Amino acid sequence: MKVTAGTGKVYLVGAGPGDPGLLTLKAAKAIAAADVIVYDRLIHPAVLRHAREDAELIYAGKTPERHTLKQEEINALLVSRGRDGKVVARVKGGDPFVFGRGGEEAEALAAAGVPFEVIPGITSAIAVPAYAGIPVTHRDCASSLAIVTGHEDPAKEESSLDWQALARGVDTLVFLMGVGNLAQIAERLIANGRPGGTPAAVIEWGTRPEQHTVTAPLEAIAQAAEEDAVKPPAILVVGEVVRLREKLRWFDIRPLSGRHVVVTRSREQASELTEALESLGAGVIEFPVISCRPLEDGPSLERLDRAIEELESYDWVVFTSVNGVRFFLDRIFRLGGDVRALAGIQIGVMGEGTRRAVEERSLTVDFVPGRFVGESFVEEFPEKRPGVRVLIPRAEDARELIPEQLRRHGCEVDVVPCYRTVAADTEAAELRLMLAAGTVDAVTFTSSSTVRNFVKLAGLDTPDFRLPETVKVVSIGPVTSRTARDLGLPVHAEADPHTIGGVVQALLELLARPASGEG
């Protein structure tokens, strides 16, 4: 697919059922290329992060109570933007042609002569049961599947649905948009010949961390869903396949399923922790309290450039963070050099992540301490003697412990800044709302600066906001813990070892719970 800005084309894009990982590559590409994005209510914010920063975002979402934009208005909008020569991504939940009114939009575009393409999405009708451990077909018990609207009032006389055929002729029935009509749907199916004991499931917020499933025989499913206060979006699955959930349930029984954890790292670094937590089932709120940037022209940059020029004069380069590695090597590269500039120089690192960052650049690490706190670095450092020259490239505002102690042993230590950290405040308001609403189970801190920025941006330094008591605080190590306590935060667990893996383990110990049963 070639997506070029300026040629005028509308992409009818399916964004999948909720889990942002279920977006197709082609959909991500179209969203990234679009000048205009028209999106619906159930679109995950992570999907919209594929958009260009300057893209025009238009919310066309419909809520059950009111229509934000009428369908005709959406059609007209797509046509006019397409005619203006814009690349438009019309982003819909699931698949655009499965109860998505994509057909109508395509008709309007075709009639107006505006070029369009359809990018199918993973439909909730199939993916949501899958995430609940229900295959919609199965060799032993289901050879046919119907995807049915549950929106139509099943009590009305001239139904467009052939209820008898559905009740008797199709093995698996999946109803979308049916939460408000569960009782009537079940009644109608039973009246038309489906046994009342047929297994049924209602799945709410499928494929999202908050996914919730209620199972019951068809005759009791409406009441069970009501007792559990199930609300849209949810689907109803009816058929023998529902029984397989007992054996195949997987998504909502992972150790951190249903838990929400704030990951407070820079945008550049968040993914390792985020991925680990998501694979354990947690919903991760990535809150980039700090973001790392290259140095601007000025005395700091001059010092960095001088150190790079004189690199040969050092015996050791010590990296204390992934970003130190990244920005230091980027600068060498910018100045026309490459990793050969480090030939003959020993490399020491703090932490596993930093070691990996060095090794990923095809450099060998000569020293890494067994424990990841500054004190043990100096204790174990092999060349603590006078005259040994050590370069430490790192953040502008990092702590002094390692250089001070090495100097005490007579080493000649140069600390040069190679990047700066800036606070990102864009998502602060959103985070404050989530904390106040009680949806956050834990907050993680992986450095003192993440604590300081979090406290500031979450508004914890103002008298009108406090961290709710239900929120657990996990820190990566003693220095970070001390900063948190100094700023008035409780620390419920400290990672041991002081690594991302240690943080994950600490969260598991605090939050993992046995899967609850269901009706």
Known catalytic residues are 40, 62, 177
Angle 322-334/299-309 helices, nearest 10 degrees? 80
Residue 181 or 323 with smaller CB distance to ligand SAH: 181
Binding status of residue 38 toward ligand SAH by CB under 6 A: no
The DSSP annotation for 354-379 comes to HHHHHHHTT----B--SS-SHHHHHH
- The number of residues that bind ligand SAH (CB under 6 A) is 25
CB 244 within 8 A of CB 171: no
One residue of 235, 440, 451, 473 binding ligand SAH per CB under 6 A: 235
In this structure, which amino acid lies at residue 264? T
One residue of 99, 116, 372, 419 binding ligand SAH per CB under 6 A: 99
Q: Which residue has the tokens 């067994």?
A: 370
One residue of 75, 124, 213, 421 binding ligand SAH per CB under 6 A: 124
One residue of 75, 198, 207, 449 binding ligand SAH per CB under 6 A: 207
CB 168 within 8 A of CB 57: no
Structural tokens at position 467: 């961290």
Q: What is the side-by-side strand order in the sheet with 472-475?
A: 283-286, 260-264, 442-445, 472-475, 493-494
Q: What is the side-by-side strand order in the sheet with 212-217?
A: 145-149, 172-176, 234-238, 199-204, 212-217
Which 8-state DSSP code applies to residue 101?
A: S
Residue 96 or 348 with smaller CB distance to ligand SAH: 96
Counting Cα atoms < 13 Å in the Cβ hemisphere of 87 gives: 18
Residue 150 or 477 with smaller CB distance to ligand SAH: 150
Q: How far is the CB of 72 from ligand SAH (least distance, A)?
A: 19
SS3 category, 387 = coil
One residue of 93, 324, 369, 374 binding ligand SAH per CB under 6 A: 93
Binding status of residue 234 toward ligand SAH by CB under 6 A: yes
Furthest C-alpha separation in the chain: 94
- Give alpha helix (H) positions in 113-253: 124-131, 163-169, 182-191, 218-227, 245-248
Binding status of residue 417 toward ligand SAH by CB under 6 A: no
Of 293, 287, 212, the residue nearest 249 (C-alpha): 212
One residue of 20, 82, 100, 209 binding ligand SAH per CB under 6 A: 100
SS (HEC) of 291-351: EEECCCCCHHHHHHHHHHHCHHHCCEEEECCHHHHHHHHHHHHHCCCCHHHHCCCEEEECC
One residue of 77, 78, 114, 176 binding ligand SAH per CB under 6 A: 176
Binding status of residue 454 toward ligand SAH by CB under 6 A: no
Q: How far is the CB of 214 from ligand SAH (least distance, A)?
A: 12
Residue 177 or 479 with smaller CB distance to ligand SAH: 177
One residue of 206, 353, 417, 477 binding ligand SAH per CB under 6 A: 206
CB 366 within 8 A of CB 514: no
Binding status of residue 42 toward ligand SAH by CB under 6 A: yes
Binding status of residue 182 toward ligand SAH by CB under 6 A: no
Q: Bridge partners of 25?
A: none
One residue of 128, 166, 390, 406 binding ligand SAH per CB under 6 A: 128
Q: How far is the CB of 379 from ligand SAH (least distance, A)?
A: 52
Binding status of residue 189 toward ligand SAH by CB under 6 A: no
Q: How far is the CB of 357 from ligand SAH (least distance, A)?
A: 37
Q: How far is the CB of 109 from ligand SAH (least distance, A)?
A: 18
Binding status of residue 129 toward ligand SAH by CB under 6 A: no
Q: How far is the CB of 119 from ligand SAH (least distance, A)?
A: 13
In the region spanning residues 339 to 378, those forming contacts with ligand SAH, defined by CB under 6 A, are none
User: Given the rule CB under 6 A, which of 51-59, 206-214, 444-452, 492-500 is the region that contacts ligand SAH?
Assistant: 206-214
Q: How far is the CB of 78 from ligand SAH (least distance, A)?
A: 17
Binding status of residue 242 toward ligand SAH by CB under 6 A: no
* Alpha carbon distances (Å) from 414 to 35, 82, 390: 48, 58, 6
**Measured torsion, CA atoms of residues 164, 166, 167, 171, in degrees rounded to the nearest 10:** 150
Residue 207 or 446 with smaller CB distance to ligand SAH: 207
Cα 34 from Cα 7, distance rounded (Å): 11
Cα 67 from Cα 383, distance rounded (Å): 70
One residue of 55, 146, 177, 443 binding ligand SAH per CB under 6 A: 177
One residue of 50, 51, 78, 95 binding ligand SAH per CB under 6 A: 95
The residue nearest ligand SAH at its CB is 94
Binding status of residue 203 toward ligand SAH by CB under 6 A: yes
Binding status of residue 283 toward ligand SAH by CB under 6 A: no
Residue 142 or 177 with smaller CB distance to ligand SAH: 177
Of 53, 114, 40, the residue nearest 79 (C-alpha): 114
* Cβ-based burial of 229 (10 A; exposed 0-12, middle 13-18, buried ≥19): exposed
Residue 124 or 354 with smaller CB distance to ligand SAH: 124
Q: How far is the CB of 320 from ligand SAH (least distance, A)?
A: 42
Q: How far is the CB of 390 from ligand SAH (least distance, A)?
A: 54
Of 248, 242, 244, the residue nearest 216 (C-alpha): 242
Q: Which residues bind ligand SAH (CB under 6 A)?
A: 17-18, 42, 92-95, 98-100, 123-125, 128, 176-177, 203, 205-208, 232-235
